[in-house]
Amino acid sequence: MEKLAEIAAIIARNVSQDGFQATPIERVTLVRSSTVTMPMPNVYRPQLCLVAQGRKEVALGGGVFRYAPGRYGVVTYDLPAIGHVVDATPDRPYLCMYLDFDPVMLADLALRVPPPPPGVPSPPIGKTVSDAGASLLDAVLRLLRLLDDPVALPVLGPLAEQEILYHLLAGPDGARMRHVTSSQGRVAQVGRAIAWIGKNFRKRFSMELLAAEAGMSQSSLHEHFRAVTAMTPLQFQKQLRLQDARSLMLVENIDVATAAFRVGYESSSQFSREYRRHFGEPPARDIARLRASPGLAVVA
């Protein structure tokens, strides 16, 4: 576990306060949390998340993905999920690294890395969590060491990033990684539906319209959408609306009714009921708690 300990030390050295820290490496973000956090919604982009210290859980649909030191998650589509840190102290804070996928670099590598052999099962769900092997940890460590070598970073950074993507493509997540670059097939069509909902979630829409946008039949869209996201399209839309409303109330300090109508709800009472089921508390009480304890709201 020496490699993982060094990765944790580099993250700790570069993130002195709780929260997210951008780095000189373009697509790399580091995260630190010295306390456990409350479940917070977030839209996870196509990315790698490697936990170096501490633990977190991410709820997606009806499933829960559990991260521990040395475990990594791969997201292949924009997905609304709820995450929270479940193991962190000031002496041993939660530490992790995010690497957003570069679709151009990934597409180029996908042409050169042999695909998984036929018959290898690979459920097309948009998120997975696995144990990192020694080769992947080596590649991550090489990339993060460049934070201490700004002269070498522009030259060696892209090589280390490619090495990480190579190991993901060549490993058990290879088929899922190829979905990020694919423009064909059912999973790519679901990706178009996901992107369309992401842009239009505040509006009412029918399954007929969404299926037309994706180029699928309604029954096929429903089946494959659920396989990728663990949600139906309407559940996906609802999560985006509730997350958006929570952010509006917290950041723009608007009232419950205004937030509800702005994200597309026609009834503030319905909004409040669904908000409570999703977040565990009525909107006003939830926002008051977040404002009173901002440290608990770190999304990791």
262 and 165 in one domain?
Answer: no
In one-letter notation, the amino acid at residue 220 is S
SS (H, E, C) 261-291: HHCCCCCHHHHHHHHHHHHCCCHHHHHHHHH
Q: Rounded distance, CA 180 to CA 103, Å?
A: 7
Report helix, strand or coil for 62: coil
Same domain, 252 and 133: no
Q: Encode the chain (300 residues) as per-residue pLDDT tens digits.
A: 799 999 999 999 999 899 899 999 999 999 999 999 888 878 888 899 999 999 999 988 778 899 999 999 998 888 888 888 999 999 999 999 999 998 888 888 888 888 776 655 555 567 788 999 999 999 999 999 999 999 999 999 999 999 999 999 988 888 778 777 665 567 678 888 888 998 999 999 999 999 998 888 999 988 888 877 878 999 989 989 998 999 889 888 899 999 999 999 999 999 999 999 888 889 999 888 887 776 555 666
Q: What is the pLDDT of residue 294?
A: 60
Find the domain containing 23 and state its range. Answer: 2-179
Same domain, 203 and 126: no
Helix (H) or strand (E) holding 66: strand 63-67
User: In what order do the strands lie in the sheet containing 63-67?
Assistant: 40-44, 79-87, 55-60, 63-67
Please state, as a whole number, how many other Cβ atoms lie within 10 Å of the Cβ of residue 254.
14
**Spatial contact of 68 and 122, defined as CB atoms under 8 Å apart:** no
Give per-residue burial for 262-285: e unless 16+ CB within 10 Å, then b: bbbbeebeebbebbeebbeeebee
Structure-token match 């036929």, residue found: 118
Q: In terms of domains, do 41 and 132 share one?
A: yes
Q: Are residues 193 and 106 in the same domain?
A: no
Q: Considering 160, 179, 198, which residue would you say is the last residue of a domain?
A: 179
Instruction: State pTM to two decimals.
Output: 0.78
Task: Note whether 57 and 140 are within 8 A (CB).
Answer: no
**Do 217 and 87 reside in the same domain of the chain?**
no
By CB atoms closer than 10 A (0-12, 13-18, 19+), residue 239 is buried
Tokens found for residue 79: 């997905």
